[in-house]
Chain A
């Protein structure tokens, strides 16, 4: 006779699997619209709140994995070092003989081989690792915020250019379209871009810490 606790465990496992498989739908609901922050009357406090909401995207593994603090990109929701082992190289596109483009094409590609935990190879025409001065791995949201505002560490961008980058850049946009088997970042790029625009409009104030 089947033990009732085992049945419960099986049911819990099935529910967990269902929740995992629905991760994409969850994530789509996980980013508040900027209007939800209108109730905060102090512009500085509102600016911080808007950036903290945008931080749900910025600190998601889909983004941080390619903003590593070292010379190897990361992979997966557990942010393990990239396999096979690859290195950023002088131009952040890998090393001669094994550039990012050795595996990553212009688009996501569903794999033909059998793998329990890999369903697609991510792709984008400009696939690369963020320069080391743009590393986000291991940093607090406040530290990342200050970094994003610093032209020495943001690719020489003004705040207006940061808004455009976040709202329109297609490599940033990959986070919402990461290919089969990968959880997308929450919300949409449109909402994310609007959060960043409103954060800048309210003074681009960074969270403490």
Chain B
């Protein structure tokens, strides 16, 4: 039996230990905000927070999650998350939106570690989150805006 916390709630899983965390989140826990993009850790759509750091859930066997805290887009909270949400809405960052939960998970993690990120910091954190609509300029602007909101 694998035990973990999902968005603050205690969960357990007794299926195949090789099951990807993404499968558990979407198919078993029915939280569909986290997306399947590539399945090979190349696109970032499946990003969650695992014990406070970003993690690609498509390449994370559930066995490796035992005893950990998992946060998905549905459970995201705190000053950084609120600032990112406001900034995203203010300039209409998403186009199709498929990648956006992953983008936001990475952006919030970045701001938690680096409250005033440079463009280089943003590139370092976000380069693994691909956006097929190429909203990169708005993503970068919204991260700067969220940072300013937190500062102000």
Contacts and interface: CB of A to CB of B under 8 A. Distances in A.
Interface of A: 83-87, 89, 94-99, 101-103, 105-107, 109, 111-115, 118, 121
Interface string B48-68: 000001111011110010000
A106 B68 CA distance: 14
Contacts of B128: 84-86, 98, 102-103
Chain A residues touching B, majority SS: loop
B127 A85 contact: yes
B41 A112 contact: no
B40 A102 contact: no
B121 interface: yes
Task: Count chain A CB atoms within 10 A of each CB in B47, B56, B110, B121 and give the residue with the most.
Answer: B56
Contacts of A103: 41, 56, 59, 128
B113 A96 contact: yes
Interface string B106-148: 1101101110000001011111101000000000000000000
Nearest to B43: A84
A97 B39 contact: no
B20 interface: yes
B27 to A, nearest CB: 12
Nearest to B38: A113
B124 A105 contact: no
A95 B124 contact: yes
B127 A84 contact: yes
Interface residues of B, number: 32
Identify the interface centre among B61, B106, B130: most chain A CB within 10 Å of its CB.
B61
B124 A96 contact: yes
Contacts of A118: 40, 42
Contacts of A95: 121, 124-125
A126 B34 CA distance: 27
B44 interface: yes
B40 A97 contact: no
B53 A99 contact: yes
A109 B61 contact: yes
A184 to B, nearest CB: 21
Contacts of B107: 97
Given A96-B109, A96-B124, A97-B125, A102 B53 contact: yes
Contacts of B109: 96-97
A125 B39 CA distance: 22
A84 B121 contact: no
10 contacts: A84-B41, A84-B130, A86-B127, A95-B121, A96-B125, A97-B54, A98-B106, A98-B124, A115-B40, A121-B40
Most chain B beta-carbon contacts within 10 A, residue among A94, A113, A121: A113
Contacts of A96: 109-110, 112-114, 121, 124-125
A54 B122 CA distance: 40
Contacts of B41: 84, 103, 111, 121
Contacts of B124: 86-87, 89, 94-98
